[in-house]
Structure 1
Amino acid sequence: MARPIWSGILSFGLVSVPVSLYAATEDHTVHFRQIQRGTSDRVRNLRVNERTGEEVAFGDIVKGFETAEGEYVVVEPEELDQISPGRSKTIEITGFVDLEQVEPIFFDKTYYLGPKGKEYGKVYTLLQRALEQANRAGIAMFSMRGKEYLTAVRAENGILTAHTMHFADEVRDPHREIGNLPTGDAVVSDRELGMAEQLIEMLAVDWNPDDYHDTFEQKVHDLIAAKQSGQDVAAPEAAPKPSNVIDLMDILSRSLESAGRPADSGKAGKGGTSGAPARSTASAEPTRPAAASRSKAAAGGRSSAGGKAPAGGAKSAAGKAPAAVPEDLSALTKAELYRRAGELEIPHRSTMTRDQLQAALEEAAAVAEGTERKGAKPRRHLRAAS
């Protein structure tokens, strides 16, 4: 079991519960020891009195604020606790906010909150479930290790978490910090924007944190193992080159091809670039699905294994001749299925999984077949997710 890094009282209104704060993340960075070159002798950092050159014990070191050159006001740790005795032991929630209103830049670090004892489980569960139902986070202030924190307390996966936040005056203005931000003079054509949006949709994935790993850490371990066994060190990977603005259309075209979308065999018009990707009817105008539509698709677009295909696929395809749909779509890749869905203007296709794309195409084919039969009811042909 992990040891808490802070203990105190979590309160909202007149309700309070003793809690402990635990680190929610851990560092897997490869750590090296400092040694003198050509030897195995470790090099240590010592706390040394710069006037006498003698080492100073940790317990003899105090905090000093310099008021003038060589003059300090000494502040003891207990004196810092005395100026804010309540906050050093209390996380007091003063309001509840919708986290969607808080920009990600304000969040710093995440901690787990747990009840200090089993006897406080009911009050802890009350706050956790209330926050979950309200879909809000409690905003609080508390002090830890001589620093005051703005904190958001929220319910996540059946527990309470505390997210320390930056204060507004700690967040830098990018327009003051960055001297070469693009201005209104940067012109992006509708075609370039449309192709970039298609590329984003082609590379859309479902978020699964287990799919991502620290590859650099593994390469460090491989480097150490290679040097230890006397093997040659692998050559470094070539760094990507900046995109040439003049060849931007060609770069976008090749990016779409590498993502699985076939390129246009015809030549572009005057001023265009040959080899541009085919623009389907659905992408004649840049596709910009609203956030609400994406949320609705995410909520209602369950996989076919759940017994429901993504809504809207059949409706949009009705009344128009669909592209040839093979009898067995299971042999096609997600990119190929996505292209066919674009030709049929199936909405929300960018949020669909491969199985949802296949189900929507099969349903569209069934609707088209029913339309040709003049009023025949379309059959629901949904293939179970593999």
Structure 2
Amino acid sequence: MPRPIWSGAISFGLVTIPIKVVPATENHNISFRQVHLEDMGRVRYRKVCELDGKQLSDNEIVKGYEVAKDQLVAVTDEDLAEIPLPTAKAIEIVAFVPAGSIDPVRIGDSYYLEGDGQVAAKPYKLLRQALERSSKVAVAKFALRGRERLGLLRVKGDALVLHSMHWPDEIRSPASLAPPAVEIEDSEVDGAIALMDAMGEEDISHYTDHYREALEELIAAKAQGKQPAPVAEAQEPGGQVVDLMAALNASVAQARESRGEGEHATVHEMPKPKKTAKKAAKKTPAKKTAAKKTAAGSTAGSTAKKATPKKTADRRKPRAS
């Protein structure tokens, strides 16, 4: 487990729970350095003042805020430290809400909360069991890395987890992104649900980052002076779907086949969208015409069959003489 990045307490009414904050996730991205291709020398960035051209050290640099064009106000670390921040050393629970009421778009980084010492054991367990029994989550305010944040406190196994959340005014509205109004048949929705059932899983822990794995193989090959193995080209995404029901049926069959159900899988054809009265009326005369053609064809076929024995008899007469 990584080292704690913050320590303080959970403020739960008049109850205080000493805790340590530990990152719940880790980054497995592969990092690159910029180099000069000709001689593989490192490319470095230097902090230089644009007025006098002097290279500066970190202790000579402070934050600046542009209040007007070409007018900056310097803000030092001491200035920031003196700003009153009630949540500087406490995760202050401000409300309890149903778990399903939190929009996942608002959730950011995740942290495990570790009880700090024996004194934290009982109130820590009390809060965890209360959250479990009520099926609620806690909304809290806390300070981390120089700013106050909104957080979501929930239970994971035997531990408490803190998710940082975006403030309400930080979430953009998706209203302008909605597609134009279209009509969807119930049979199409049923087909989509059938596909969801065919693709359903209880455990997704087997999924891995194929891009990172391929990148590691590329780096290993180049480090040994070898050419990386050729990579198969990705298939181009399909064009516009003309028959949505056919695409859903094919997707269900493909999903079941990929899960090893194979021939034992029974893919029931999904009901086609209901036809309107106008369409049905237009197609009725066509069926009658087809029936007449079939009847005429059957009569012609019967006449041909009756004529066949006569032709055969006529051919056999010369052989008999």
Alignment TM class, shorter chain as reference: 0.7 to 0.9
Select the residue among 194, 203, 212 that pairs with 2:207.
Answer: 212
Look up the match of 1:7: 7
Deviation readout 1:323-352 (Å, 9 max, x if unpaired):
xxxxxxxxx954666649x89xxxxxxxxx
1:8-27 paired onto structure 2 within 5 Å: 8-27=8-27
1:182 paired with 2:176, answer: no
Q: CA deviation at 1:213?
A: 0.9
Amino acid at match of 1:220: L
Amino acid at match of 2:64: G
Look up the match of 2:195: 199
- Unaligned ranges ≥5, structure 2: 270-321
| Residue aligned with 2:244, SS | helix
Structure 1's 139 and 48: CA in aligned 2 closer, same or farther, altered over 3 A? same
The structure whose Rg is larger is 2
Amino acid at match of 2:62: V
Whole-Å Cα distance in 2 between the matches of residues 194 and 336 of structure 1? 23
Whole-Å Cα distance in 1 between the matches of residues 16 and 121 of structure 2? 12
Q: CA deviation at 1:165?
A: 0.5
Aligned partners of 1:202 and 1:338 also within 8 Å: no
Q: CA deviation at 1:144?
A: 1.4
Amino acid at match of 1:234: P
Look up the match of 1:107: 107
Deviation readout 1:246-298 (Å, 9 max, x if unpaired):
2434433332332347xxxxxxxxxxxxxxxxxxxxxxxxxxxxxxxxxxxxx
Aligned partners of 1:111 and 1:161 also within 8 Å: yes
Q: CA deviation at 1:199?
A: 1.9
1:129-148 paired onto structure 2 within 5 Å: 129-148=129-148
Amino acid at match of 2:22: Y
Aligned partners of 2:217 and 2:228 also within 8 Å: no
Q: CA RMSD in A?
A: 2.5
Look up the match of 1:252: 248
Deviation readout 1:129-150 (Å, 9 max, x if unpaired):
2222222211111111121110
Deviation readout 1:128-184 (Å, 9 max, x if unpaired):
2222222221111111112111011122110111111111111111123x3xx3121
Whole-Å Cα distance in 1 between the matches of residues 163 and 250 of structure 2? 42
Whole-Å Cα distance in 2 between the matches of residues 58 and 152 of structure 1? 35
Amino acid at match of 1:135: S
Q: CA deviation at 1:241?
A: 1.6
Whole-Å Cα distance in 2 between the matches of residues 115 and 223 of structure 1? 43
Structure 1's 241 and 2: CA in aligned 2 closer, same or farther, altered over 3 A? closer
| Residue aligned with 1:16, SS | strand
Whole-Å Cα distance in 2 between the matches of residues 74 and 104 of structure 1? 37
Look up the match of 2:312: none
Look up the match of 2:93: 93
Structure 1's 252 and 33: CA in aligned 2 closer, same or farther, altered over 3 A? same
Structure with the larger RCO, 1 or 2 (CA within 8 Å, 6+ apart): 2
- Structure 1 length-normalised TM: 0.63
Look up the match of 1:128: 128
Structure 1's 150 and 232: CA in aligned 2 closer, same or farther, altered over 3 A? closer
Whole-Å Cα distance in 1 between the matches of residues 135 and 256 of structure 2? 39
Percentage identity across aligned positions? 35
| Residue aligned with 1:222, SS | helix
Whole-Å Cα distance in 1 between the matches of residues 158 and 248 of structure 2? 44
Look up the match of 1:78: 78
Whole-Å Cα distance in 2 between the matches of residues 26 and 232 of structure 1? 28
Whole-Å Cα distance in 2 between the matches of residues 71 and 235 of structure 1? 53
Q: CA deviation at 1:119?
A: 3.1
Whole-Å Cα distance in 2 between the matches of residues 158 and 142 of structure 1? 22
Look up the match of 2:221: 226
Look up the match of 1:54: 54
Structure 1's 9 and 79: CA in aligned 2 closer, same or farther, altered over 3 A? farther
Aligned partners of 1:259 and 1:335 also within 8 Å: no
Aligned partners of 1:30 and 1:217 also within 8 Å: yes
Instruction: Count how many residue pairs are aligned between Structure 1 and Structure 2.
Output: 267
| Residue aligned with 1:65, SS | strand
Look up the match of 1:36: 36
Whole-Å Cα distance in 1 between the matches of residues 127 and 246 of structure 2? 55
Whole-Å Cα distance in 2 between the matches of residues 237 and 194 of structure 1? 34
Structure 1's 194 and 52: CA in aligned 2 closer, same or farther, altered over 3 A? same
- Structure 2 length-normalised TM: 0.75
Q: Larger strand proportion, structure 1 or 2?
A: 2
Whole-Å Cα distance in 1 between the matches of residues 230 and 199 of structure 2? 30
